[in-house]
Amino acid sequence: MQLNGSEIVIECLKEQGVDTVFGYPGGTILNIYDELYKHQSEIRHILTSHEQGAAHAADGYARSTGKVGVCFATSGPGATNLVTGIATAYMDSVPLIAITANVAVPLLGRDTFQEIDIAGVTMPITKHNYIVKDVTKLADTIRKAFTIAKSGRPGPVLIDITKDVTAAVTEYEPAVPAPIHRVTDTIVQEHLEQAVDMINRSKRPYIFVGGGAIISGASAEVEEFAHKIHAPVTDSLMGKGAFPGTDPLYTGMLGMHGTKTSNLGVTECDLLIALGVRFSDRVTGNIKRFARNAKVLQIDVDPAEINKNVMTSLSIIGDLKEVLKRLNALIEQNQRHTWVSHILELKEKYPLKYNENGLSCPYIIEELYRITKGEAVITTDVGQHQMWAAQYYQYTKPRTFLTSGGLGTMGYGLGACIGAKVGCPDKLVVNIAGDGCFRMNMNELATATRYNIPIIQMVINNHVLGMVRQWQTLFYGQRYSYTVLNDPVDFVKLAEAMGAEGIRVTKKEEVAPAIEKAIALNKPVVIDFQIDCDDKVFPMVSPGASIEEAFDQKDLENRG
């Protein structure tokens, strides 16, 4: 059949099972939007307040559902406004398709109005990208983009389409999406057998779980593996929910703001089993002293991660779920009572703790966990609140904690929260943000109210850039250079002005009623929690220090 380029875009999206697109229209993409208008009963479009919000919403949709997120933007500034969202998805291996339109082919390279080489701009932050200048290649390009975004280690793909291609006509043949196969041809039986031998010989193994376990859908296999070899489990920020946070073998997060138990345990272990992790600097601390008593067994789908940051003793390349299935079939049940008892003693000795006098973020998150029974999808922005959300909410299922782990994007959370709620309408979705982060994306509150998307926006309002202030307090002689936000901005009035409900909380006894009211309202709600500006995230590892040197407030006081 004969279709124009815009019709081909929509038909290809329908082929791929796309039901939602987040975006913002403009001149060069108008043909595609005109065609989208005719298919609004099949593909829902969410008009965000800013293109960056569209990218984050598509990202949140993808992380929460496991599907590919899709966003649209026009040329020039519309396209460049997607860049931070694309980079966020790239760093955290999120399958995302960004479709932009560009000026017509004869106008390329002429400094045309709103022209930008967005393919060139995004080359370092996409898994692949395309500029389509020939309508006959459009359908195949879109299909390839979806395959690339979903396969192996997922990631974002950008498709830039010139405006004349969106209007040009060609023959279109419908196609069934190519199946996505798990990466198994790289799994070597000899390596599996060597891994089993390493595990059997180990007296003090530790399992370190990352985001790859969630991406591969390997949660059940991770749990079976941990109980079969009877080893304690720690996770990265991206790995939260891959292993139940309520399991006795779970010891909390690893790294700069990880638990003392995990940091000490990994330092003492003789075998570190790394499952879908990238060994970020926030996890390892001083790389030369990280897990220095251990052999490292790393399992990852991406060979580029092997020996990138931490040298391995043995690696297995392949889909984590499939690798663990094969390992679980080979491994015999083991008991390591002495080692596990030692780790449990550390858990008893070094629990997470905070100042319980007055309103604090850890208390708020503990109440949120209690009220939601751990069933909510939590999104966050970046900073102190992000770490507290990782520490004090117990994640028992994958795809329930969405955060910018790699890029650390302030302004990520609200867009991602909207995307997650659109993708999972039957789940309670809550964004936890600091006041500094909320200022970066609060325009997306208008998106939530426009479509009556019932999300809860919790603002942990300490009137400062909290994490930066914490560093300024500890390492910069309390010189608070441009981190104080003590101005008359009123988030409750802002919420009301944008059509949402606003609630202010200043006391501990107000926390539970506020959260319960927000849930019952079933509409966009902003809760402004007023906390002290000098609350700190502990434990903490100083930059350049080894992770076993994690300290807390009591340690600081003891140092004098």
Q: How far is CA 11 from the centre of its chain?
A: 30
Write down the catalytic residue from 15, 114, 510, 553.
Answer: 114
Torsion of CA 16, 19, 21, 26, to 10 degrees: 90
Gap between the Cα atoms of 192 and 198, Å rounded:
10
37, amino acid identity: Y
Please report how many Cα atoms fall inside a 13 Å half-sphere around the Cα of residue 157, on the Cβ side.
20
Residues listed for the chain: 560
265, amino acid identity: G
Distances, alpha carbon 214 to alpha carbons 69, 93, 223, 402, in Å: 16, 11, 12, 11
Residue 454 φ/ψ, nearest 5 degrees:
-80, 80
Gap between the Cα atoms of 205 and 273, Å rounded:
7
Gap between the Cα atoms of 233 and 289, Å rounded:
20
Distances, alpha carbon 456 to alpha carbons 33, 342, 349, in Å: 30, 40, 35
Write down the catalytic residue from 256, 410, 458, 467.
Answer: 467
Whether 114 sits among the annotated catalytic residues: the reply is yes
Q: What secondary structure, in 3-state letters, does 33-53 show? A: HHHHHHCCCCCEEEECCCHHH
The H-or-E segment that residue 128 falls in is: strand 128-132
Whether 15 sits among the annotated catalytic residues: the reply is no
Gap between the Cα atoms of 75 and 88, Å rounded:
20
Where b means 16+ CB within 10 Å and e means fewer, 485-495 reads beeeeebbebb
Q: Tell how strand 169-171 and strand 2-4 pair up.
A: antiparallel
Sheet arrangement for strand 314-317: 250-253, 233-235, 205-209, 271-275, 295-300, 314-317
Gap between the Cα atoms of 445 and 438, Å rounded:
10
Write down the catalytic residue from 163, 240, 260, 321.
Answer: 163
Write down the catalytic residue from 7, 11, 35, 51.
Answer: 51
Gap between the Cα atoms of 301 and 195, Å rounded:
16
- Coil, strand or helix at 409: coil
Beta strand residue intervals within 394-444, DSSP E = 401-402, 429-434
Closest CA to 405 of 63, 68, 9, 88: 88
Helices (H), ranges, 253-319: 260-268, 281-284
Gap between the Cα atoms of 18 and 370, Å rounded:
35
Q: Which two structure tokens, joined as six digits, stand for 86?
A: 């694309």
Neighbours of 188 (CB within 10 A): 13
Whether 113 sits among the annotated catalytic residues: the reply is yes
Write down the catalytic residue from 38, 42, 113, 478.
Answer: 113
Whether 163 sits among the annotated catalytic residues: the reply is yes
In the block, residue with structure tokens 């902003």: 526
Active centre residues (catalytic): 51, 113-114, 163, 467
